[in-house]
Structure 1
Amino acid sequence: MDKKTLSERDICTKFITPAIEQAGWNIKSQVREEFPLTDGRVIVRGRMHSRARPRRADYVLNYQKNQPIAVIEAKDNKHSLGDGMQQALAYAEALDVPFAFSSNGDGFLFHDNTGLGDHTEATITLDDFPSPDWLWQRYCQWKGLESTARTIAEQPYYDDGRGMTPRYYQMVAINRTVEAIARGQNRILLVMATGTGKTYTAFQIIWRLWKAGQKKRILFLADRNVLVDQAKNGAFKPFGQAMTKVGNRTIDKSFEIYLSLYQAVTGVEEDKNIYKEFSPDFFDLVVIDECHRSSASEDSSWRAILEYFSSATHIGLTATPKETKDVSNINYFGDPLYTYSLKQGIEDGFLAPYKVVRIDLDRDLQGWRPDKGQTDKHGNLIEDRIYNQKDFDKDLILEKRTELVAKKVTEFLEQTNPYQKTIVFCEDIDHAERMRQALVNANPKRAAENRRYVMRITGDNMEGKAELDNFTNPEEPYPVIATTSKLMTTGVDAKTCKLIVLDQRIQSMTEFKQIIGRGTRIDEDYNKHWFTILDFKKATELFADPDFDGDPVQVYEPSGPGESPVPGDDYDPHDPGAKPTPEQGEEPGEYGPDPEQPWRPDGPGGGEPEPPPERTRYIVDDVVVTVAAERVQYLGPDGKLITESLRDYTRKKVKEQFASMDEFVRRWNEADRKQSVIEELAEVGVFWDDLMKDVGKKLGDDPDPFDVICHIVYDQPALTRRERAEQVRKRNVFTRYGDQAQDVLERLLEKYKDVGIEPIEDPKVLTLAPFTELGSAMELANAFGGKQGYREAVRELEDELYQQPS
């Protein structure tokens, strides 16, 4: 047998798999072939999308099911033994495992990153592949897992019997946490971007520790009823009869898994603190969901629960760890044990990318000053000063500004999809109500179709809050647009939300991340793969802040005796323990509400706080507001927004791929499918539909991507598809074919002229009108002498279309 003639798959089947099996690995339970690490980044092209190629490891070896310890990368025998090693190491790093193997069927190159062997890399024969027990023993030694800890780490994941397994980053978070707790660590912080499955990850951690007998009674804490119910009815369901939701009246101590709202077990009065009915050592493990807002602050009354159960292991979960001079997650939990960021989630294709449309209004940029003695619409004398974006919709309301924002939102919806789920974030409840009215007036036909087309969903409005489930339910068409202030910034799983409107001045990075997180979920069933951010208040400038996707840095400065934090720009409205200023505490009851137990915020002496003083608000209805600037920004492959012009960005990216026009033309002509070149460029961020729209004004309505690139990047004159098709017709090059074949080629030319190159490269085009009028697909292919002859004719047609002038 000549190995050089075998494919990579043959090498795996005939040499690598037998070697693994011979070493004692169970192929069915311990070995995963073609293991999917990522889904492939979503690439947005105007209103269309595609996916980059997903990353797949040829083999992942598990000691227990879904507990990876090694990776193997295979190559065909034309490659050397170690050609796959760098790829294997990248996969091993992602999976947080120390062992990587590369093979071409002759043997293995073995990389051991534990530092426990004589060599980091060594060549071994097919007969010497290490056994599961040998690798696991070394893995445990590397991780510092002694005999008892090793038993805990060996506890398998929950298997639902339907093939659902954790994603690679969830595996890493689960394994690191279980292993850390097995070694005795008692304070753990996991940072995982919104939409990446924190609750499912928490369930698997609890399941393994519970089944191993390491943690026998567990408390899961959240500060929103919806979060507790989502966990109880979703990820935590396998706990069955061992699980209960804590009420606010009686405590049953016969359960093992307790899910609770903070406010269900604590209150202002001492007799409401029913968590004290449990002994301080009752729980072995406490998991705190959204810990950045629930208990980050030392002076939060809810921190008292954690202090009461201080002997238990505490795991904090958050997408946005809170790190300010006054509040710190790291100070309490320690540095994050694992971080999976929004940027990484988008790169892997598990989270939706975004496009930003920045709309700057003239009054926001220039400010506004009243005339001397000017009064507002209610006759109030307006204080003489310059009002700017910081004042609008707080101290000063320009009604025409609200109307313009509603008009621009409506225009965007009408140009894309008027029924896409949309959240409009406003300054406060009053602003949310005025925006609701403006959007209803801007959409009279839609509002007439259904009164719930636009709804205000805020903490003070029962009618609006009652529609929250309908808004987040993909199967419910209404409400379409939700205006809100704080209620929907977090804890709202709006998978199908495709448009986020920012008409709120956002100063907190924590809040900004949470708001962006409302759009990052992907829903394949409802064609939700990306989303748009419509920004009226420069909030998206925070994307450029290194803190947006960087590692959290502790800057905590504990208050001295007698000092208390003063809320300012660092104030986090999500923290129920914080004391909001009048401007910040706009939406009562939104961050601890539970119909069963109304939330009461902290106040002096444990009572209700003094109501904030009334502030003067001027309402002006006769000041014209216009759009000063509007631009679109795209999320590039590097995770940063593209701020340069689309043309300049395209020129730069294409020249990185093809330094000269000759290189580009050669690649285009050699490609079996021209569409593959278009997809290659889309992967590096060439946004075709928007680019076509931009240059189409100068190149005509139907430019070919080939001409767009040649014109923008290499300063060449461009032809329209119509002109290219006519040039082929004039050359009359297909006379050697029969009448039926010529008819097919003529209609392919017409199809190209109308919609471009992609459809004519697909053989299925022969099964569609108008080709079906000429005969069946087989008959039409036979007119060219068969399928191969048809493919050659299409290739010749493409060569004629893109013939360069001599």
Structure 2
Amino acid sequence: MSTVIPKSKMSEEDIKLQYITPAIIAKWDRGKIAMEKSAQITEGKINLKGNLVFREKPKRADYILYLNANNPIAIVEAKDNKHSISYGLQQAMTYAKMLDLPFAYSSNGDGFAEHDFLTGKERQFKLDEFPTEAELITRFKEESGMTPTQEAVIEQPYYSSQNTYPPRYYQRIAINRTVDAIAKGQNRLLLVMATGTGKTYTAFQIVYRMLQSGLKRKILYLADRNILVDQSIQQDFAPLEKVIHKINVSKDDKNTITSHEVYFSLYQQLVGDDDKEHFSELFTPEFFDLIIVDECHRGSAKEESRWRRILEYFSSATQIGMTATPKETKYISNLSYFGEPVYMYSLKEGIEDGFLAPFKVINIMTDIGEGWRPRKGQRDIYGNEIEDRIYTNSDYDYNIIIEDRIQQVASEITSYLKSTDRMAKTIVFCATEDAAERMRQALVNLNADMVKENPDYVVRITGSDDYGKKKLKYFISVSESYPVIATTSKLLSTGADCKMTKLIVLDEMIGSMTEFKQIIGRGTRLREKEGKTYFVVMDFRNVTRLFADPDWDGPIMIDPGFIPGRQTTPPTSGSDDPPGPIDPPELGNPKPVVSRDGCKVEIIHKTVSVYDVNGKLLRQESIVDYTKENIRGEYASLDNFIRHWSKEEKKEKIREMLLERGIDLELMKSEQNMSDVDDFDFICHVAFDKKPLTRKERANNVKKKDFFSKYSGIAREVLESLLDKYMNTGIYEIEKTEILKLDPFQKLGKPAKIAGYFGGKAGYMQAVKELEEAIYADEAV
């Protein structure tokens, strides 16, 4: 091959075009080669830098080669000719392991290096010796010991349509490993996939391929909540609607129920409250050949659970447990029943890959969090004397109700939403259903303007609240605006697919890592088109101490605008069980209720916990600290900053520099109620503790100095108008000549005519510079 550019001078793209691509397409069907955008593996992690949100670059292979539409088989990484043939092999191997592929290759245009994961061997060969499609597939089948049944199943396609997205890489691995294990005869399988990563979609594709291949013909999908069943039938399993039946033990006839292929049921129906095994009345033990247990962490493998009775009755069926949290408590029960997971995809991986939303944590402490003791003889609102002891976060709403505490929590939630987005879907997890109602009332009164527009702005959604339960489908809907805030106890902790949840408030005690992860999972779904790129966890009970648990695996991002205080000593979390009420009152007696006069509550600290991706505490800081550190890193002293500000012809360059570092001054000023302060003053205030002036104060100082006396007529009118513009919008606008095209300048003529009153454009720019000097005259150094 003769080329204009020597190979040693070619870019990586040139090497691919001239050498690597021709070598591969000479041996492979073009339809089985993915390149560029189609070889993208991840979405790219969403990062929260300072108070900005941005995506990192996605991971993308140079080439992915496919056995068929379901199954990629090899990765090829390209490098330019300045590198050796095998230089990119470790990168190719990393991607191949990530994608669960048997072969990895690298090339620099001189030849190929190969790593075979099935044999552990490596080799190098010439460009024209790249293995053909048939050769590589034959090697794969022989080296992996594939059976005819596995071959038949592997050829079955995924379900695809215009309304169905192709599986993401981790979903494909989960589906393929499960299907392959079933084809090999494995009868107990466990899939662990973080909340929000598409467990139900993955289950649907497994079921679809099982039915298409004929390997399974009667399938039971078990869940423990009606909403889970209905969501699955209506959404992911919709393509199979003609063969689906939702079991109703009170109406189904055992003689006619057998005509369907996919059955959905609540385990509570199959084993009723009467403890009757209704499943045995409807089905023979051999009826189902595949059972999928959704959210199996909640009891499917506990020895005495109703789940277990169903599974043991249908013991001949292949059984798949699906969960986001494989450990229920200290008893690793579902692992002992289903076995080690065939595949695990964690919350950490989901966030790192950019498929799940990252989150920020605000830890808020009240002055009674660590303890409140009633005065001697103090009585509650019922006139009953309050027991004399120290009450803590484990008591509030469980054993005693402090009205002002509820008010303060509601006030913090309201303030946050007002400073960000009052229509942001919010779940407030409360201690009890009664606490959820009290919180609802407090939030209604604090948000009366929004409730006036729609009475469903705040709704209690709990197990005993029929009105709230009817509103659940609207709350979790992406297209429905109301309800906005849901107060709940346990109902929304699992199962409910709240895609648009932007704020999760923890105002209950949680001791179980399983429950904690499930609650956090309510916010992990990404909806970028609808404006959700991350979510916030607001913790009033120090529940987020569980992030320090070795079982936690998700990163926490810094939250802007909350100033850190002292770190409190977290309670030990040696037990897997949630802490119960302390000395609960006798049945029939109401909990003591302390009026707002009886106990005044204050918020004393708002801390930000910043962790790495493994949940290790790195530091505590706020966006103010982050900003201070960056400004002082750029400008060593106040004088140094003032000099740079004065010399900079376009002050906006300083703002742009800070934006690149994740610092949005306008947002920060808004959050601290300092929008009327000049950026100059705000920077001096944050970084150098200097008292800020408002823009109005600076403008008035200019007027007092009689700056305009040397100008007259139209020129003076223009500069006075520029000063008014500065007072209203800031320094950056008056630096732009485009401002002369706007009111009130427009009535004075075109920009060129206005500049003429100053002797031309240079004269106008000089006058603006002098105006700026007058604005910051007191700061000159």
Fold equivalence (TM over 0.5)? yes
- My pick for the range that moved more, 66-75 or 5-14, is 5-14
Q: Report what 2:139 is aligned to.
A: 138
- TM-score when normalising by structure 1: 0.75
Distance 1:295 1:653, change over 3 A: farther
Task: Name the aligned partner's letter for residue 146 of structure 2.
Answer: L
Q: In 2, distance between residues paired with 1:82 and 1:759?
A: 57
Please point out which of 603, 623, 632 is paired with 1:627.
603
Q: Report what 1:153 is aligned to.
A: 154
- TM-score when normalising by structure 2: 0.78
Q: Which residues of 2 match residues 593-742 of structure 1 at below 5 A?
A: 613-614=587-588, 616-621=590-595, 622-634=598-610, 643-646=619-622, 650=626, 681-682=661-662, 701-702=678-679
Q: Are 1:300 and 2:300 counterparts?
A: no
Q: Report what 2:316 is aligned to.
A: 311
Task: Name the aligned partner's letter for residue 175 of structure 2.
Answer: I
Any idea what the Cα deviations from partners look like across 1:93-145, whole Å, max 9, x if unmatched?
Answer: 2101131111233322222222264xx242x2221111233323333445443
Q: Which residues of 2 match residues 416-565 of structure 1 at below 5 A?
A: 416-549=420-553
Q: Report what 1:606 is aligned to.
A: none
Q: In 1, distance between residues paired with 2:341 and 2:583?
A: 29
The alpha carbon displacement at 1:90 in A equals 2.0
The alpha carbon displacement at 1:674 in A equals 9.5
Q: In 2, distance between residues paired with 1:192 and 1:132?
A: 33
Any idea what the Cα deviations from partners look like across 1:238-257, whole Å, max 9, x if unmatched?
Answer: 22423222222214112222
Q: In 2, distance between residues paired with 1:68 and 1:335?
A: 25
Any idea what the Cα deviations from partners look like across 1:172-191, whole Å, max 9, x if unmatched?
Answer: 11122122222222111111
- Judge conservation of contact 1:220–1:287 (CA < 8 Å) in 2: yes
The alpha carbon displacement at 1:149 in A equals 2.3
Q: Are 1:280 and 2:256 counterparts?
A: no
**Other structure's SS at 2:258 match:** coil
Q: Report what 1:329 is aligned to.
A: 334
Q: In 2, distance between residues paired with 1:644 and 1:373?
A: 41
Any idea what the Cα deviations from partners look like across 1:372-401, whole Å, max 9, x if unmatched?
Answer: 322211011222211111111111111111
Q: In 2, distance between residues paired with 1:189 and 1:489?
A: 22
Aligned residues: 692
Distance 1:308 1:203, change over 3 A: same
- My pick for the range that moved more, 63-72 or 43-52, is 43-52
- Judge conservation of contact 2:196–2:524 (CA < 8 Å) in 1: yes
- Judge conservation of contact 2:51–2:664 (CA < 8 Å) in 1: no
- Judge conservation of contact 1:223–1:294 (CA < 8 Å) in 2: no
Task: Name the aligned partner's letter for residue 192 of structure 1.
Answer: M
Any idea what the Cα deviations from partners look like across 1:401-453, whole Å, max 9, x if unmatched?
Answer: 11111111111111111121111110000100111111112122222222111
**Other structure's SS at 2:31 match:** coil
The alpha carbon displacement at 1:55 in A equals 1.1
Percent pairwise identity: 46
**Other structure's SS at 1:64 match:** coil
- Judge conservation of contact 1:46–1:690 (CA < 8 Å) in 2: no
Task: Name the aligned partner's letter for residue 236 of structure 1.
Answer: F
- Judge conservation of contact 1:265–1:272 (CA < 8 Å) in 2: yes
**Other structure's SS at 2:456 match:** coil
Any idea what the Cα deviations from partners look like across 1:501-525, whole Å, max 9, x if unmatched?
Answer: 1111111111111111111111122
The alpha carbon displacement at 1:770 in A equals 6.1
- Higher Cα radius of gyration: 2
- My pick for the range that moved more, 529-538 or 129-138, is 129-138
Q: Are 1:82 and 2:83 counterparts?
A: no
- Judge conservation of contact 1:33–1:60 (CA < 8 Å) in 2: no
Q: In 1, distance between residues paired with 2:194 and 2:474?
A: 24
Any idea what the Cα deviations from partners look like across 1:742-771, whole Å, max 9, x if unmatched?
Answer: x9xxx9xx99x978999999xxx9999769
Q: In 1, distance between residues paired with 2:197 and 2:52?
A: 24
Task: Name the aligned partner's letter for residue 195 of structure 1.
Answer: G
Please point out which of 257, 260, 285 is paired with 2:265.
260
Task: Name the aligned partner's letter for residue 347 of structure 2.
Answer: L
The alpha carbon displacement at 1:679 in A equals 7.7
- Judge conservation of contact 1:42–1:50 (CA < 8 Å) in 2: yes
The alpha carbon displacement at 1:158 in A equals 2.0
Distance 1:584 1:398, change over 3 A: closer
Q: In 1, distance between residues paired with 2:141 and 2:176?
A: 12
Distance 1:147 1:83, change over 3 A: same
Task: Name the aligned partner's letter for residue 352 of structure 1.
Answer: A
- Judge conservation of contact 1:474–1:495 (CA < 8 Å) in 2: yes
The alpha carbon displacement at 1:461 in A equals 0.8
**Other structure's SS at 1:321 match:** coil
Q: Are 1:28 and 2:31 counterparts?
A: yes
Distance 1:692 1:446, change over 3 A: closer
- Judge conservation of contact 1:355–1:635 (CA < 8 Å) in 2: no
The alpha carbon displacement at 1:636 in A equals 5.4
Q: Report what 2:356 is aligned to.
A: 351
Q: In 2, distance between residues paired with 1:397 and 1:389?
A: 11
Q: In 1, distance between residues paired with 2:684 and 2:75?
A: 43
Q: In 2, distance between residues paired with 1:388 and 1:62?
A: 60
Distance 1:14 1:185, change over 3 A: same
Q: Report what 1:557 is aligned to.
A: none
Q: In 2, distance between residues paired with 1:361 and 1:760?
A: 46
Q: In 2, distance between residues paired with 1:425 and 1:756?
A: 45
Q: Report what 1:71 is aligned to.
A: 75
Q: Report what 1:785 is aligned to.
A: none
Task: Name the aligned partner's letter for residue 679 of structure 2.
Answer: D
- My pick for the range that moved more, 521-530 or 210-219, is 210-219
**Structure 2: gaps of 5 or more residues:** 555-573, 638-643, 645-652, 696-717, 753-768, 770-779
Distance 1:401 1:225, change over 3 A: same
Task: Name the aligned partner's letter for residue 46 of structure 2.
Answer: V
The alpha carbon displacement at 1:270 in A equals 6.0
The alpha carbon displacement at 1:624 in A equals 0.7
Q: Report what 2:229 is aligned to.
A: 228
Task: Name the aligned partner's letter for residue 19 of structure 1.
Answer: A
Q: In 2, distance between residues paired with 1:177 and 1:376?
A: 59
Q: Are 1:173 and 2:174 counterparts?
A: yes
- Judge conservation of contact 1:3–1:77 (CA < 8 Å) in 2: no
**Other structure's SS at 1:529 match:** coil
Distance 1:459 1:98, change over 3 A: same
**Other structure's SS at 1:458 match:** coil
Q: In 1, distance between residues paired with 2:140 and 2:655?
A: 46
Distance 1:518 1:759, change over 3 A: farther
Please point out which of 34, 42, 58 is paired with 1:38.
42
- Judge conservation of contact 2:611–2:619 (CA < 8 Å) in 1: no
- Judge conservation of contact 2:395–2:582 (CA < 8 Å) in 1: no
- Judge conservation of contact 2:610–2:621 (CA < 8 Å) in 1: no
- Judge conservation of contact 1:692–1:703 (CA < 8 Å) in 2: no
Q: Report what 2:199 is aligned to.
A: 198
Q: In 1, distance between residues paired with 2:129 and 2:730?
A: 58
**Other structure's SS at 1:452 match:** helix
Distance 1:141 1:693, change over 3 A: farther
Q: Are 1:113 and 2:87 counterparts?
A: no
**Structure 1: gaps of 5 or more residues:** 551-567, 574-580, 587-611, 666-672, 723-742, 781-796, 798-804
